[in-house]
Amino acid sequence: MIVHILSTGDEVLLGDIVDTNSAHLCRAVKDMGYKVQKITAVGDDVEKIASAITDISVCADICLVTGGLGPTSDDVTALACSRAAGEECEIDQEALTSMKAYFVKRGYELTRENEKQAMLPAGSKMMTNHNGTAPGFFMTLNQCLFFFMPGVPREMKVMMETEVKPVLSQRFGQAHGIFIERITVFGLGESGAGALLNGFHEIFPGMRLGFRVDFPVIEVKIILSDGLQEKEAAASKIKKAKDWVMERLQNKVVSEKGLSIPEEVGRLLAGQRKTLAVAESCTGGLISSMITDVAGSSEYFLFSGVTYSNDAKINILGVQKKTIIDHGAVHEETAREMAMGARLKAGADFGISTTGIAGPGGGTLAKPVGMVCIGLAGKDVSRAKTYRFAFDDREMNKKIFAVTALELLRRHLTGVPETS
């Protein structure tokens, strides 16, 4: 089953908006067991849209089209479709009735511009728009079944669910299909992970690996997409492959369910009924922000002291003045006292801390940009460790420092040794 997406509209080609519609449709198609083969985006131009429709009509089975169904003069998709089909556009009575009902319900009057929206290509079948005025429609050209939907995301999403999916299911049935397992990896580059997983394709024919980098973390995907597998057989196949991958990646695996590091740390803390406090210097609040991006984090996250100044480290976190005078702010002893201080101040089970040099300025030979000391404190633990990263970018350093601190805690919570 070959599925294409055609996205129309100048705003995408001018870069004014990011094409989130296509991403949404890709996921919807994947959920039905198919995979999109190609996405095409063209501007608001009758000839270009008609030509794209003709091209797609001879090489795809299904095409999902978005955009260009509105009331203004730059909305030309229905016209383009009729051109490609060699048909006229004509008033669709069902569409007109449905639009009138939509307007009456809201106390508006139908304008002439709106009436244009009921002009559909002859031979097409109207689809109701539950969230707006522009009706959609579907029709077959050559070998391909085209679905035309509005470009407004909330209108398109509802139409996909309530109008397009039922037609697809009825005509093609649910495919079997794509089984995906996701593993979150930290501490390896994409090439390092690839090297460790060399040989996968020979051992597991019919399956493949995908890699997605979300710096500094990598998501490794194990993908089984060869056709009409029984669910159980597929699950057993993919489990074997996953075990093999996990064995190879060893302690670089952060989550075997594809969770982010803050999600995994949150899951562990909530499961163990433990609470956390943070003391941040160079990460500047990023650790806290990552933790609190996870809904429900108030269950385990109590406090973070973002102590940029030395006075704040001393007065608020209780770091000893002597420590900073003797060793400076970027030092393991300072990190250790920061973590302990945050933990005590907030009455938390655990404290973690960061103090380092994010750059671009502030580095020295002894303490270069990219160096960070991370502290960990708990009832039975109080220590710190130094890491050196080689990025010159402030935001990248903040990110990798933050993730490293969370990973130190994660390993402590799971009992994995944190060295290596």
Residues 109-138 that bind its own copies (CB under 8 A): 111-114, 117, 131, 133
Residue from 32, 33, 36, 141 binding its own copies (CB under 8 A): 36
**Parallel, antiparallel, or unpaired: how do β-strands 36-42 and 144-149 relate?**
unpaired
DSSP track, 327-361: H-SSSHHHHHHHHHHHHHHHT-SEEEEEEE--SSS
Shortest approach of its own copies to residue 123 CB, angstroms?
26
Comparing CB distances to its own copies, the nearer of 32 and 234 is 32
Comparing CB distances to its own copies, the nearer of 228 and 295 is 295
Asked whether the beta carbons of 79 and 88 are under 8 A apart, the reply is no
Q: Would you say the C-alpha torsion 405, 410, 411, 413 has a positive or negative sign? A: positive
> Phi first, then psi: what are they for 84, rounded to 5°?
-60, -35
Q: Does 61 bind its own copies (CB under 8 A)?
A: no
Q: Which of residues 145-184 bind its own copies (CB under 8 A)?
A: 152, 154, 180
Comparing CB distances to its own copies, the nearer of 119 and 416 is 119
Q: Does 408 bind its own copies (CB under 8 A)?
A: no
Q: Which region among 82-90, 227-235, 236-244, 394-402 touches its own copies (by CB under 8 A)?
A: 394-402
Comparing CB distances to its own copies, the nearer of 10 and 61 is 10
C-alpha span between 193 and 202 (Å, rounded): 17
Residue from 1, 40, 61, 270 binding its own copies (CB under 8 A): 40
Asked whether the beta carbons of 270 and 330 are under 8 A apart, the reply is no
Q: Which of residues 362-381 bind its own copies (CB under 8 A)?
A: none
Q: Around Cβ 345, how many Cβ atoms within 10 Å?
A: 17
Comparing CB distances to its own copies, the nearer of 305 and 378 is 305
Residue from 156, 185, 278, 372 binding its own copies (CB under 8 A): 278
Shortest approach of its own copies to residue 186 CB, angstroms?
17
C-alpha span between 374 and 350 (Å, rounded): 13
Q: Does 58 bind its own copies (CB under 8 A)?
A: no
Phi-psi region of 391 (alpha: psi -120 to 50; beta: other; left: phi over 0): beta
C-alpha span between 266 and 275 (Å, rounded): 9
Comparing CB distances to its own copies, the nearer of 86 and 107 is 107
